[in-house]
Amino acid sequence: MGNRITDHKVHIFVGMFGSGKTEAAINFSIRMRNIFDKVSIADIDIISPYFRTRDKAEFLENKDIKVILPPKIYLNADLPIISPAVGGYISNPEYKIILDVGGNDDGIMVIGSLNNFLQNADAAVYFVINTMRPFTDSEEKISSHIDRLSQKARINVSYLICNTNIVEQTSQGDLTLGEKMVMRVSQNKNIPVAFTMVNEDRKDLQTLNERFEIKRFMKTEW
């Protein structure tokens, strides 16, 4: 990842269900911790009960990444509860912070509740796209989600991330077609592609964009 990305203070990962945005947020936080001394990640995904940063909290804490979670009494509840510490870490100049945000309209509106903190922060919003998932399997659907989510959150998408995959069944053709679709959206929406995510054990897959090798932490249910 180039300095243009890592230099941002706040990194917000959004995407539709199955996009891989939580995988992106977790792996990104680990990469950031390799560069910076103080990194935090906030789980503000109030939508998905299956793929959440909070499920890897101990693992991340062991890597010296500060994990910001809802109060313990709400930890396993699917309620719109955001730790008040999130705003504090956004404002704290010593920390880089990664936000893992729920994917649908209700989830993305949570960002709106943080606008008082975000409006004065150097924040980047990453829209994670898996073109093999039904919500984002066409340019039209991807563009529509970007427009709607941007409007709901009252914040613009800064970068696109291509995460085209069907786990271990992903072929080179699948990945290349996905990248080309994301690149066309990038051109049409004037939003740059940050990188393409690839499983760390898939050295056989070649990418058109900058390559970001990741470890898959979330158990796939589809």
Q: Average pLDDT of 57-78?
A: 77
| Domain of residue 33, residue span | 3-214
85 sits in which H/E element: helix 85-91
Q: How buried is residue 146: exposed, middle or buried, by Cβ count under 10 Å (0-12/13-18/19+)?
A: buried
Q: Is residue 219 part of a domain?
A: no
pLDDT at 51 over 50: no
Q: Is residue 142 part of a domain?
A: yes
Q: Is residue 222 part of a domain?
A: no
- Amino acid 93: pLDDT: 93
Count the domains in the chain.
1
- Amino acid 50: pLDDT: 45
Q: Is residue 221 part of a domain?
A: no
By three-state DSSP, how is residue 37 classified? Answer: coil
Q: In this predicted model, which residue has the larger pLDDT, 149 or 199? A: 199
Q: Is residue 158 part of a domain?
A: yes
For residue 204 the two structure tokens come to: 């056989």
Q: Is residue 54 part of a domain?
A: yes
pLDDT bin (cut points 50, 70, 90) of residue 222 is very low
- Domain with residue 184: its CATH number is 3.40.50.300
Q: Is residue 220 part of a domain?
A: no
pLDDT at 173 over 50: yes
| Top mean-pLDDT range of 71-80, 112-121, 185-194 | 185-194
Q: Is residue 27 part of a domain?
A: yes
Answer yes or no: are the C-beta atoms of 119 and 100 closer than 8 Å. no
CB neighbourhood size of 18 (10 A): 21
Q: How far apart are CA 47 and CA 39, in angstroms?
A: 24
Q: In this predicted model, which residue has the larger pLDDT, 114 or 196? A: 196
- Amino acid 111: pLDDT: 81
